[in-house]
Amino acid sequence: MATKPAATSSSGTPVLSVQNLEAWYGESHILHGIDLNVNAGEVVTLLGRNGAGKTTTLKSVMGIIGKRTGSVRFNGEEIIRASSDRIARMGVAFCPEERGIFASLDVRENLLLPPVVRSGGLSLDQIFELFPNLKERLNSQGTKLSGGEQQMLAIARILRTGARFLMLDEPTEGLAPVIIQQIGHTIARLKKEGFTILLVEQNFRFAATVADRYYIVEHGKIIDGFMNSELQANMGKLHTYLGV
């Protein structure tokens, strides 16, 4: 087994600090002591096989896993016992893999539904600049959108809220290459504008275009980690970890 990585990168201010995080679904013990940090302005990617605990880590940070222990600190404040709505109002947003688009609502209604929890959220004009497809589909119902358009809408919706710490779960899953490229450009632009992003991805080739650092999750633990500049040197291990 690989040596457990240092929890921080060489520089930066931790926005999120997770220590010894354990989580359960009912009687099933999923996370077994997750340790990770995300620094201000970083894109950090969790890589691992299906069922490794990546999504559970995001949900645990967001407070939507009922039973969890350990420490989760956001901007220095302990939130392990905070409710998910309080965590959201602190500026944390979660974009789930299933996207959660309301099928009976049109694009405009889906965009305007979530409350603005903090100042600094993107305006509709700024969102349409990022995702021009959504402006063209503004009056289309959720059921009429392609998978790529639904993913754009799911990300756009959380950008309205004012959250500056974004957790994105498999944003490229099942999407066409041209849409994956657009999602990548969006993440790069958000990073440039000061957003901090914790990303779950299976597609490490996509992750390589946006990530600053990686953590490898296996059996509910962080087993390795490295900087994006070290990716090529770690490709052999990465293929072993991910089974690709």
What is the tens place of the pLDDT at every residue in 182-233?
A: 999 999 999 999 999 999 998 888 999 999 999 999 999 999 999 999 988 9
Query: What is the rounded CA–CA span in Å between residue 77 and residue 129?
Result: 34
Full DSSP string of 81-140: TS-HHHHHHTTEEEE-TT----TTSBHHHHHHSSPP-STTPPPHHHHHHH-HHHHHTTT-
Domain architecture of the chain: domains with CATH: 14-242 (3.40.50.300)
1-50 tens-digit pLDDT: 344 444 445 455 699 999 999 999 999 999 999 999 999 999 999 999 99
| pLDDT, averaged across the chain | 91
Let me know: does 198 contact 41? Beta carbons within 8 Å.
Answer: no
pTM recorded for the entire structure: 0.92
State the Cα torsion 167-59-145-103 to the nearest 10°: -140
Among 64, 182, 241, 86, smallest CA distance to 74 is for 86
pLDDT computed for residue 204 by the predictor = 83
231-244 tens-digit pLDDT: 889 999 988 888 76
- 188: three-class secondary structure by DSSP: helix
Average pLDDT value for residue range 138-164: 92
Instruction: Outline where DSSP puts E strands in the chain.
Output: 14-25, 28-39, 43-47, 67-74, 77-78, 92-95, 165-169, 196-200, 213-218, 221-227
> Tokens at residue 3, please?
């040596």
